[in-house]
């Protein structure tokens, strides 16, 4: 009998109003049922938002350093339970254990950073033009925050949203991805045990079109913080625009590595393997394109393909595994469809290009690390997000052409350049249309104390991470205090 889990609303663990559940399966082994989770709908969302409204009224009055104390305690629990959580994450969504542990570590780092923010949350003081008048801008909470998250970073991404939301004095309704409900449950349990009062954080499990959509539409929600695909993010943005809600969006990417002819080639190959095939290519910052200077293109491809062929597929808990499964059957099919699209567009598959089904792999969703050559910038595999272990390699005559190709996509999350020429590095930093650029490192490697996010259709101008997340999770309030005892008229009595 599979373990049954519940929603968390107003400080109580409760089933979905529908009484229905959905199954959480291990993507490396479909016979491994992790648990049954509540399939929530608008009724559960309504209860959760009401509980959050009550929670907010109390929580906003708790001083920020006290609020941050709860986040610090949760961070300590994450550290103590890191190994257990990492293993459960690998079982739930497939990434290899070292990467799952990195995901938990990112949650710990975020807790530490946001704990300090409890004693900062800096406002701005500036002089006033009138005498005996004092002006200051302070941060105030937004209210009820809807946190909607994807499955690829089941702990880190929720902490990026929930920890700052709580420190800033908001109440949260959390709707995690339907592929990773267990890690979401554990995070909520950990925060509740750390001393969060009931109603301040509520968990509603379920599907995007049901629970997620109802949450975005609910009039009691003041801010929607969404991370996921551009397709869904657009829908969320449209609803929020119609309802006049604040919305922050972190969406898809078609990230790129540029390899110049003066690059340390082995380093660039290491970066392309890590960026392209880490987390089975299912990172928002995955390097799904590599643009190589024609002078080193053949040498690069030889080494890259050779490394991709050697990657060992398997369950993420096996120490011998380099690449785990992809998240589900739908995604496996989508990745394979892109292989067929690439072939029909005239690209050549140098390795991979098919699901892996030998032995125990048949029980999961495995796809062979895939490298496309002869890719032209206009091809769909060069422009659209595949979200799997598929890398398109393109050629360029020089840096200018490489940058032009790099920017020929609607996305703009992460880019990287391998070069030893400092002029080229700076020209690339200036010209690449992405929110993050790496020099001599892969497209992956963000740290929590810096802004994270992308330009164009990757985002809508907000940045999570670092201090910039505070601009999402708070509103500015400007306060003027006139202690002159007489009517003073700004812009007039000057
Ligand atoms: P997804 O868009 O399918 O789902 C994301 C979340 O939205 C899930 O919780 C889902 O249930 C919910 N959702 C789905 N439909 C909804 C609707 N109509 N209304 C409200 N909520 C809805 O994305 P995914 O498959 O979980 O994640 C992969 C995508 O996320 C990729 O495109 C990846 O690039 C992106 N991503 C972006 C970042 C970033 O920071 N830019 C980080 C990680 C992942």
Rg (CA), the chain: 24
Query: How high is the pLDDT of residue 3?
Result: 87
Mean pLDDT in consecutive groups of 10 residues from the start of the chain, 494 residues: 90 98 98 98 98 98 98 98 98 98 98 98 98 98 98 98 98 99 98 98 98 98 98 98 97 98 98 98 98 98 98 98 98 98 98 98 98 98 98 98 97 98 98 98 98 98 97 98 98 92
Query: How high is the pLDDT of residue 1?
Result: 55
Q: Identify which of 352, 348, 301 has the alpha carbon closest to the alpha carbon of residue 323.
A: 352
Task: Give the chain's count of helices (H) and strands (E).
Answer: 15, 19
To the query of whether residue 250 is one of the catalytic residues in this protein, the response is: yes
Please give the Cα distance from 200 to 80 (Å, whole number).
24
Give the residue, by CA position, lying nearest to ligand 1 atom 13: 208
Domains detected in the chain:
7-251+459-478 (3.40.605.10), 256-439 (3.40.309.10)
Q: Which residues are near ligand 1 (CB < 6 Å)?
A: 148-153, 175-178, 207-209, 212-213, 216, 227-229, 232, 235-236, 250-253, 284, 385, 387, 413, 454, 458
Atom of ligand 1 nearest to the CA of 215: 20
Q: Tell me the pLDDT tens digit for each residue of 132-169.
A: 999 999 999 999 999 999 999 999 999 999 999 999 99
Please give the Cα distance from 139 to 468 (Å, whole number).
13
In three-state secondary structure terms, 36 is strand
Instruction: Show the beta-strand stretches assigned E in 240-358.
Output: 246-250, 255-259, 287-293, 348-351
Query: How high is the pLDDT of residue 494?
Result: 79
Which one from 284, 345, 376, 447 is the annotated catalytic residue?
Answer: 284
To the query of whether residue 284 is one of the catalytic residues in this protein, the response is: yes
Q: Tell me the pLDDT tens digit for each residue of 453-484.
A: 999 999 999 999 999 999 999 999 999 999 99
Average pLDDT score, the chain: 98
Q: How far is CA 140 from CA 117, 165, 249, 472, in A?
A: 14, 11, 21, 11
Please give the Cα distance from 467 to 265 (Å, whole number).
36
Ligand 1, pocket-test mutation among 205, 232, 388, 454, most atoms within 8 A of CB: 232
Residues whose CB falls within 8 Å of the CB of residue 34, separated by 6 or more in sequence, listed in order: 2, 24, 25, 26, 91, 92, 182
């Amino acid at each position: 009998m599979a373990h049954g889990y519940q929603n968390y609303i107003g400080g109580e663990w409760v089933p979905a109003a529908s009484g229905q559940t959905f199954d959480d399966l291990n993507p490396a082994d479909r016979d491994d049922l992790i648990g049954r989770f509540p399939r929530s709908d608008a009724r559960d969302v309504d209860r959760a938002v009401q509980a959050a409204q009550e929670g907010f009224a109390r929580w906003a009055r708790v001083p920020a350093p006290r609020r941050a104390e709860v986040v610090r305690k949760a961070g300590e629990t994450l550290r103590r339970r890191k190994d257990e959580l990492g293993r459960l994450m690998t079982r739930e969504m497939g990434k290899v254990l070292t990467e799952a542990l990195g995901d938990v570590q990112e949650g710990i780092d975020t807790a530490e950073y946001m704990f300090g923010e409890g004693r900062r949350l800096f406002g701005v003081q500036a002089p006033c033009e009138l005498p005996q008048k004092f002006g200051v801008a302070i941060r105030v909470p937004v209210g009820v925050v809807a946190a909607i998250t994807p499955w690829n970073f089941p702990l880190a991404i929720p902490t990026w949203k929930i920890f700052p939301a709580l420190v800033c004095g908001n109440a949260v309704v959390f709707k995690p991805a339907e592929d990773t409900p267990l890690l979401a449950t554990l995070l909520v349990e950990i925060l509740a045990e750390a001393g969060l009062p009931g109603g301040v954080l509520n968990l509603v499990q379920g599907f995007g079109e049901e629970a997620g959509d109802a949450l975005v539409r609910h009039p009691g929600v003041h801010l929607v913080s969404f991370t996921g695909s551009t397709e869904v993010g657009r829908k969320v943005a449209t609803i929020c625009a119609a309802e006049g809600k604040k919305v922050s969006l972190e969406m898809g990417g078609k990230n790129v590595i540029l390899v110049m002819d003066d690059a340390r080639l082995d380093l660039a190959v290491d970066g392309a393997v890590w960026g392209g095939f880490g987390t089975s290519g299912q990172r928002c910052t995955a390097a799904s394109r590599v643009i190589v200077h024609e002078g080193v293109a053949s040498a690069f491809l030889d080494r890259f393909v050779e490394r991709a062929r050697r990657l060992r597929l398997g369950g993420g808990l096996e120490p011998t595994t380099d690449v785990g499964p992809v998240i589900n059957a739908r995604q496996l099919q989508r990745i394979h469809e892109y292989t067929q699209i690439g072939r029909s567009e005239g690209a050549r598959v140098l390795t991979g290009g098919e699901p892996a089904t030998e032995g125990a792999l048949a029980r999961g969703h495995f796809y062979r690390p895939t490298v496309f050559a002869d890719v032209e910038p206009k091809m769909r595999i060069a422009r659209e997000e595949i979200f799997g272990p598929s890398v398109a390699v393109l050629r360029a005559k020089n840096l200018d052409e490489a940058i032009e190709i790099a920017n020929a996509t609607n996305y703009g999350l992460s880019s990287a350049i391998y070069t030893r020429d400092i002029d080229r590095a700076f020209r690339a930093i200036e010209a690449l249309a992405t929110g993050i650029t790496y020099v001599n490192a892969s497209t992956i490697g963000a740290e929590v104390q810096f802004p994270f996010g992308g330009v164009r259709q990757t985002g809508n101008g907000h940045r999570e991470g670092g201090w910039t997340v505070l601009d999402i999770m708070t509103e500015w309030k400007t306060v003027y205090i006139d202690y002159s005892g007489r009517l003073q008229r700004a812009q007039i009595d000057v």
